[in-house]
């Protein structure tokens, strides 16, 4: 199995890479600026299975690079079975302070690039009867205050997941995973312990999840769900039904 994953060097992306690689997958691991982390993860995984992980660097806002990412994957490994649209920008956009630049960034990474990567990958995925997994967000249909553009972009990705399932079936399955509180954003706005505890208490399981929880859901949709398409699974400790 050959997997192209965006934003695979760190955090949830790295957990997905480790789990799929342990199951025998070959990976084309995309990164934008996390070169050190990407090379370290590549070395770690290639040490267990030689030449099983390759890297591709690209700014996903540059649409001209997306087809070449897919082609590079196929040239390197001979096929493409899975596309995981994991990379994401995340930052607040209070009404009155939204600029076209932040719109382009949030819509570009969370919606536009997944669409155009999926379009480029579709012919190869049809040949392999492969699948696409999009990392969405529970705030796709429950918008978060002060994050209007991010919430709208993820809402678009949720709709795109269903639309692509309709467009690319029966050969290609398209599903999504919507994380809840898994890893706190690397932003001082999220460092307040009281705010974190309020979020944790809003989950039904009263705890945060782990990146591996998302990775296991992704693995399930890839390898154990041949009759599931057009679905988005919330992995959030029940938070999305308790907001």
- Domains of the chain and CATH, by start: 2-241 (3.40.50.720)
Please determine, for residue 107, whether its predicted confidence score (pLDDT) is greater than 70.
yes
189 pLDDT higher than 80: no
Looking at residue 184, its pLDDT comes to 63
Q: Where are the beta strands (DSSP E) in 86-213?
A: 131-135, 173-179
- The set of catalytic residues is 150
- State mean pLDDT over 135-159: 94
* Residue 81 CB neighbour total at 10 angstroms: 21
**In the predicted structure, residue 127 carries a pLDDT above the cut 70:** yes
Q: Rounded to an integer, what distance in angstroms lies between the CA atom of residue 154 and that of residue 85?
A: 12
78 or 200: whose pLDDT is higher? 78
Buried b / exposed e along 9-31 (16+ C-beta atoms within 10 A)? bbbbbbbbbbbbbeeebbbbbbb
Q: What is the DSSP string of 180-211?
A: -SSS--SSGGG--HHHHHHHHHTSSSSS---H
Grade residue 203 by pLDDT with cuts at 50, 70 and 90.
confident
- Determine the pLDDT at residue 43: 98
Inter-residue contact 125 to 178 (CB < 8 Å): no
pLDDT for the residue 242: 77
Q: What is the pLDDT of residue 102?
A: 96
Which strands, in side-by-side order, build the sheet including 131-135? 53-57, 26-31, 2-5, 82-85, 131-135, 173-179, 232-235
Number of H helices, E strands in the chain: 8, 7
pLDDT at 190 over 80: no
Of 205, 210, 202, the residue nearest 183 (C-alpha): 210
What pLDDT is recorded for position 238? 87
Q: Is 80 exceeded by the pLDDT of residue 121? A: yes
Residue 243 has pLDDT above 90, yes or no: no
Mean pLDDT of the residues in the chain: 94
Residue with the bigger pLDDT between 88 and 240: it is: 88
């Amino acid at each position: 199995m050959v997997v192209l994953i965006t934003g695979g060097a760190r955090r949830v992306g790295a957990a997905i890479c480790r789990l799929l690689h342990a199951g025998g997958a070959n990976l084309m691991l995309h990164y934008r600026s996390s070169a050190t982390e990407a090379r370290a993860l590549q070395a770690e995984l290639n040490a267990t299975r030689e030449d099983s992980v390759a890297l591709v660097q690209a700014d996903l806002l540059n649409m001209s690079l997306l087809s070449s990412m897919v082609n590079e994957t196929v040239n390197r490994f001979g096929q493409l079975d899975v596309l995981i649209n994991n990379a994401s920008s995340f930052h607040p956009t209070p009404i009155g302070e939204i600029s076209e630049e932040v719109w382009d960034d949030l819509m570009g990474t969370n919606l536009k690039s997944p669409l155009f990567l999926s379009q480029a990958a579709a012919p190869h995925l049809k040949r392999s009867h492969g699948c696409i997994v999009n990392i969405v967000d529970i705030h796709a249909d429950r918008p978060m205050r002060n994050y209007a553009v991010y919430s709208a972009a993820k809402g678009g990705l949720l709709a795109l997941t269903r639309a692509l399932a309709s467009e690319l079936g029966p050969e290609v399955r398209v599903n999504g995973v919507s994380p809840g509180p898994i890893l706190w954003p690397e932003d001082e706005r999220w460092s307040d312990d009281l705010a974190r505890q309020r979020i944790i208490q809003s989950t039904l399981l009263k705890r945060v999840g782990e990146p591996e929880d998302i990775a296991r859901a992704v693995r399930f949709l890839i390898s154990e769900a041949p009759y599931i398409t057009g679905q988005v699974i919330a992995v959030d400790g029940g938070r999305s039904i308790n907001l």
